[in-house]
């Protein structure tokens, strides 16, 4: 029997009074899902043997410039690489709690567990000296004593850094708050889960409110408590909005709900938390439908007071009075799941901790430092283990990508060739290698005009097709495949175009990929397909300039599309939707 059938919810308020039917905990999280599962047939491409790879040499004039080997514990769990310099006992406790949290999320909001990341997320647990300090963003956006967790994200990698050493946080207005590294991690982890579901970021206040709401979840193997808030009479938990805002003036709602708020400090986050909690779990539940309607309308409309009033029936000031009442005396639903007798969440498997290898420590620290804007320090941490003789394929890939980002294409090419030869599992490494090979081939064109030979096409497509086979798919891979076929001296067949259409199906709103596919189809004479793609681009493009370009192309391709021969039976052309693999019911 699955645990979901063995756990029953109890209905209580934060103040202990009974309520009616509970709301669906996973409703909004499930709405965040954007998942398309398709797989299309594609033509093979020739494999081109590469030359012998000579790796770059680093001349170190002063070894003191490079960081010395560091002692970290290292572990891998599905989707995460963990570095820890807190104690082994505390690390194991943390990882067990983290794995149990994942089981909790699967039970009460499974929609959040969908989605993939190109490479495992880096999770750094800092507890010695000033280990947390070196990861603070270079732009100064986070005060040293104002936070005990950091979240970074790029299109390829995410990272969470948690400070276990700090005992007290110093917030705005000289407010002090006891540090809770676990709750800080929960907030960063839920932020990661939410963002990986979406093609664009949600409204800042909405994300922050959900993050804080989820971060307050309490659980063990037999009980899960969600959306519980202290009642203001001594039962508060660290970070509860009523504790933080009890004697503090509220920020104007128009400022809090802005698409680009002027401040995103602790008290702004607490007010977002109060607003989302009141709307979803307030005692009378009367705000839920208005709240959901407001969130959905923000997909296409600006967050004006008029829109707010149309959804909630109140001005900002009128609603703020209600919100102040909710903060002063918080009465709302909590959702409590209790396991039936003999049933509980499974015990997480034991974590296998080991001493972090020099290559792993340098690679993870270097890439996280790069995300925080510390370019020189990031490069030094990546280079140091390489200089000391490490040749791990993942380190070589990270070095190649870092050199590419720094504009050192020749060095990047050598590292990426070596990583690819070692069959590293990192799609972006193959993508950037293909891009460098294409750039080299195009450098031989006269006046920027030319075509790729069969061998050059194979050299570019080989790493691209390797990247295509590694999860998750990248839109840029398909766009570069389209660009390569467009330059080929040997015209591609329709089955080759099908590979690009696979990308369009997987990334239906990526206008850059749609444009590449449209131009490839037109250049190679597939005018009906080009028209279909241009028409689709017209429908999905949000930028007016992109929409106008697709409309112009669609009109031109409609004129150029050849009509069927009058003497032959009209052939039914395949539409783009014919390439969709529809999910089974």
- Note whether residue 365 is domain-resident: no
Q: Is the pLDDT of residue 31 over 80?
A: no
The rounded Cα 430 to chain-centroid distance in angstroms is: 20
Supply the pLDDT for residue 391: 95
Pairing assessment for the beta strands 223-226 and 218-219 based on DSSP bridges: antiparallel
Q: Is the pLDDT of residue 123 over 80?
A: yes
Pairing assessment for the beta strands 354-355 and 333-339 based on DSSP bridges: unpaired
Of the two residues 564 and 464, the one the predictor is more confident about is 464
**Residue 279, phi-psi category: left (phi > 0), alpha (psi -120 to 50), beta (remainder):** alpha
In terms of Cα–Cα distance, which of 189, 144, 139, 137 is closest to 163?
A: 144
- Note whether residue 276 is domain-resident: yes
Confidence of residue 306 (pLDDT cuts 50, 70, 90): very high
Supply the pLDDT for residue 248: 87
Supply the pLDDT for residue 53: 61
In terms of Cα–Cα distance, which of 162, 150, 145, 160 is closest to 90?
A: 162
Mean local confidence (pLDDT), 23-37: 27
Q: Is the pLDDT of residue 236 over 60?
A: no
Token look-up 């890439």 returns 367
- Note whether residue 168 is domain-resident: yes
Q: Is the pLDDT of residue 190 over 90?
A: yes
Quickly list DSSP for 85-100. Answer: -S-HHHHHHHHHHHHH
- Note whether residue 279 is domain-resident: yes
Identify the H or E element spanning 335. Answer: strand 333-339
Q: What is the mean pLDDT of the chain?
A: 81
Supply the pLDDT for residue 491: 84
Q: Is the pLDDT of residue 5 over 70?
A: no
Q: Is the pLDDT of residue 237 over 60?
A: no
**Residue 481, phi-psi category: left (phi > 0), alpha (psi -120 to 50), beta (remainder):** alpha
Contact 78, 67 (CB under 8 A): no
Q: Is the pLDDT of residue 545 over 50?
A: yes
Supply the pLDDT for residue 384: 95
In terms of Cα–Cα distance, which of 385, 384, 436, 379 is closest to 410?
A: 436
Mean local confidence (pLDDT), 541-570: 73
Confidence of residue 462 (pLDDT cuts 50, 70, 90): very high
Q: Is the pLDDT of residue 16 over 50?
A: no
Overall domain count for the chain = 1
Mean local confidence (pLDDT), 68-84: 95
Query: Which residues sit opposite 452 in a β-bridge?
Result: 488
Residue 274's domain spans which residues? 3-24+41-339
Confidence of residue 354 (pLDDT cuts 50, 70, 90): very high
Confidence of residue 421 (pLDDT cuts 50, 70, 90): very high
**What are phi and psi for residue 277, nearest 5 degrees?**
-65, -45
Supply the pLDDT for residue 378: 95
Residues in the chain: 585
33/423 Cα distance (integer angstroms): 32
Q: Is the pLDDT of residue 536 over 90?
A: yes
Supply the pLDDT for residue 161: 97
What letters, b where the CB count within 10 A reaches 16 and e where it falls short, cover 391-403?
ebbbbbbbbbbbb
Largest Cα–Cα separation, the chain: 87
Contact 81, 93 (CB under 8 A): no
- Supply the angle between the helices 494-506 and 527-540 in degrees, to the nearest 10: 10
In terms of Cα–Cα distance, which of 27, 143, 24, 127 is closest to 83?
A: 127
Mean local confidence (pLDDT), 426-451: 94
The rounded Cα 300 to chain-centroid distance in angstroms is: 22
User: Residue 127: how many CB atoms within 10 A of its CB?
Assistant: 18
Range picked from 33-42, 88-97, 233-242, 448-457 for highest mean pLDDT: 88-97
Q: Is the pLDDT of residue 341 over 90?
A: no
- Note whether residue 543 is domain-resident: no
Q: Is the pLDDT of residue 125 over 70?
A: yes
Supply the pLDDT for residue 41: 20
Q: Is the pLDDT of residue 63 over 90?
A: no
- Note whether residue 251 is domain-resident: yes
- Note whether residue 479 is domain-resident: no
**Residue 239, phi-psi category: left (phi > 0), alpha (psi -120 to 50), beta (remainder):** left
Using CA atoms, how far residue 40 sits from 115, 466, 495, 498, in Å, is: 20, 15, 10, 8
Confidence of residue 163 (pLDDT cuts 50, 70, 90): very high
330/324 Cα distance (integer angstroms): 10
Name the token pair of 404. 């590419």
Mean local confidence (pLDDT), 496-510: 90
Name the token pair of 399. 């070095």
224 half-sphere exposure, CB direction, 13 A CA radius: 27
- Note whether residue 529 is domain-resident: no
Mean local confidence (pLDDT), 237-265: 85
431/306 Cα distance (integer angstroms): 46
256/250 Cα distance (integer angstroms): 9
User: Residue 505: how many CB atoms within 10 A of its CB?
Assistant: 17
206-226 per-position pLDDT tens digit: 999 989 888 888 889 988 887
Supply the pLDDT for residue 25: 33
206 half-sphere exposure, CB direction, 13 A CA radius: 19
Helix residue spans in 149-197 (DSSP H): 181-195
Angle (nearest 5°) at CA 487 between 429 and 564? 125
- 434 burial (CB, 10 Å; 0-12 / 13-18 / 19+) is buried
Q: Is the pLDDT of residue 398 over 80?
A: yes
């Amino acid at each position: 029997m699955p645990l979901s059938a063995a756990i029953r919810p109890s209905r209580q308020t934060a103040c202990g009074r009974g309520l009616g039917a509970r709301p669906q905990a996973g409703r909004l999280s499930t709405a965040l899902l954007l998942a398309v599962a398709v797989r299309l047939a594609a033509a093979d491409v020739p494999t081109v043997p590469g030359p012998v790879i000579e790796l770059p040499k680093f001349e170190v004039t002063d070894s003191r410039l490079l960081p010395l080997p560091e002692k970290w514990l290292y572990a891998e769990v599905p989707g995460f690489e963990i570095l820890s310099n807190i104690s082994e006992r505390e690390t194991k406790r943390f990882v067990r709690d983290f794995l149990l949290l994942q089981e909790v999320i699967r039970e009460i909001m499974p929609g959040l567990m969908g989605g993939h990341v190109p490479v495992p997320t880096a999770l750094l647990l800092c507890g010695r000296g000033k280990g947390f300090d070196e990861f603070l963003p270079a732009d100064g956006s986070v005060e040293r004593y104002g936070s005990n967790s950091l979240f970074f994200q790029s299109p390829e990698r995410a990272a969470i850094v948690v400070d276990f050493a700090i005992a007290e946080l110093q917030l705005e207005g000289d407010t002090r708050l006891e540090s809770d590294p676990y709750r800080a991690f929960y907030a960063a982890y839920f932020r990661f889960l939410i963002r990986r579901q979406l093609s664009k970021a949600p409204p800042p206040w909405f994300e922050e409110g959900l993050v804080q709401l989820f971060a307050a979840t309490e659980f063990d193997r037999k009980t899960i408590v969600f959306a519980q808030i202290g009642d203001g009479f001594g039962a508060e938990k660290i970070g509860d909005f009523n504790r933080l805002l009890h004697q503090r003036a509220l920020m104007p709602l128009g400022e809090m709900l802005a698409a680009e708020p002027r401040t995103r400090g602790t008290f702004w986050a607490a007010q977002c938390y109060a607003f989302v909690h009141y709307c979803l779990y307030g005692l009378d539940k009367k705000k839920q439908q208005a709240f959901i309607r407001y969130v959905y309308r923000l997909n296409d409309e600006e967050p004006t007071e008029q829109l707010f009033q149309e959804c909630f029936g109140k001005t900002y000031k009128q609603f703020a009075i209600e919100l102040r009442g909710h903060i002063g005396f918080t009465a709302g639903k909590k959702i409590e799941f209790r396991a039936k007798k003999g049933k509980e969440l499974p015990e997480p498997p034991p974590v296998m901790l080991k001493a972090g290898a020099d290559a792993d420590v340098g690679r993870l620290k270097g890439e996280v430092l790069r995300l925080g804007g510390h370019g020189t320090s990031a490069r030094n941490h990546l280079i140091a283990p390489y200089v000391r003789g490490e040749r791990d394929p993942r380190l070589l890939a990270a070095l190649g990508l870092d050199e590419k980002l720094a504009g050192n294409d020749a060095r990047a090419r050598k590292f990426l060739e070596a990583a690819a030869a070692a069959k590293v599992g990192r799609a972006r490494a193959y993508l950037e290698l293909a891009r460098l090979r294409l750039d080299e081939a195009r450098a031989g064109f006269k006046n920027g005009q030319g075509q790729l030979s069969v061998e050059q096409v194979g050299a570019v497509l080989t790493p691209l097709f390797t990247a295509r086979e590694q999860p998750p798919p990248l839109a840029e891979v398909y766009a570069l495949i389209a660009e390569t076929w467009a330059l080929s001296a040997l015209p591609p067949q329709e089955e080759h175009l099908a590979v690009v259409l696979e990308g369009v199906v997987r990334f239906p709103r990526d206008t850059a990929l749609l444009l590449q596919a449209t131009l490839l189809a037109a250049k190679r004479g597939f005018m009906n397909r080009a028209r279909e793609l241009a028409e689709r681009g017209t429908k999905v493009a949000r930028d007016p300039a992109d929409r106008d370009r697709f409309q112009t192309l669609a009109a031109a391709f409609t004129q150029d599309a050849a009509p069927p021969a009058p003497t032959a039976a009209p052939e039914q052309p395949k539409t783009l939707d014919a390439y969709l693999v529809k999910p089974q019911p």
